Homo-oligomer: A and B are copies of this chain.
Amino acid sequence: MPQGQPVSVPDDGLTTRQRRNRPLLIVHTGQMKGKSTAAFGLALRGWNQGWSTAVFQFVKSARWSVGEENALRALDQVHAQTGQGGPVAWYKMGAGWSWSRTQGTEADHAAQAAEGWAEIKRRLAATAHDLYVLDEFTYPMKWGWVDVEEVVDTLRQRPGRQHVVITGRDADPRLVDAADLVAEMTKIKHPMDAGQKGQRGIEW
């Protein structure tokens, strides 16, 4: 783990405290599944800080992260009932976002993704949350369902102290350039290489 000592001190006119509290744009990319899992692990830390966390899953199937979803929803309930931790909201693109009246179909993923991004943009402008997890959001960016330049500009100019974590393979170089922290998860060995299929509790 990093030992807490920066390798250099930037000439940005900020105090250490200001710099420490700078909102971060984090990207988890690479070939391995740990990308989303690590992002949901970050959400645990945010919960413990009392942050308002919102997860937006840009995936066709809700199957893969159902374990994390149920656990984070349970933590949201703990917050609602005891005041411990913070609130967690969880949205899935699947068959239409839960805030949307228009129920989506399998055919209009592009429109759903654009609608999801439009909502995130509204929330960022309103500083609605402390932590946003945009799970698998690199794919709508890659497939042109959202405008990469507009996404990156919006993220760069977001107000307040809102952390954003974006996961998915093939992160756009402009997103990587804008990010404060980029981690790549690399496969060294995977049980599917040895003919094993995904299993309950490990893969979802």
Query: A132 CB to closest chain B CB, in angstroms?
Result: 13
Q: Which residues of B are found within 8 Å of A48, using beta-carbon distances? A: 66-68, 70-71, 201
Quick one: closest B residue to A68, CB to CB? B44
What interface size band does chain A fall in? 35 or more
Bound state CA distance, A38 and B160, in angstroms?
A: 28
Q: Which residues of B are found within 8 Å of A1, using beta-carbon distances? A: 33, 36, 64
Give the oligomeric copy count.
2
Q: CB distance B202 to A24 under 8 Å?
A: yes
Query: A94 CB to closest chain B CB, in angstroms?
Result: 16
Q: CB distance A19 to B180 under 8 Å?
A: no
Q: CB distance A6 to B196 under 8 Å?
A: yes
Q: Which residues of B are found within 8 Å of A32, using beta-carbon distances? A: 183
Q: Does any Cβ of B come within 8 Å of A107's Cβ?
A: no
Quick one: closest B residue to A28, CB to CB? B34
Query: A77 CB to closest chain B CB, in angstroms?
Result: 8
Q: Does any Cβ of B come within 8 Å of A190's Cβ?
A: yes
Q: Mark A81-115, 1 if CB is under 8 A from B, else 0.
A: 00011000000000000000000000000000000
Bound state CA distance, A67 and B53, in angstroms?
A: 14
Q: Does any Cβ of B come within 8 Å of A152's Cβ?
A: no
Query: A195 CB to closest chain B CB, in angstroms?
Result: 4
Query: A11 CB to closest chain B CB, in angstroms?
Result: 9
Q: Does any Cβ of B come within 8 Å of A20's Cβ?
A: yes
Q: CB distance B67 to A75 under 8 Å?
A: no
A residues 167-197 in Cβ contact with B at 8 Å? 176, 179-197
Q: CB distance A44 to B20 under 8 Å?
A: no
Q: Does any Cβ of B come within 8 Å of A42's Cβ?
A: yes
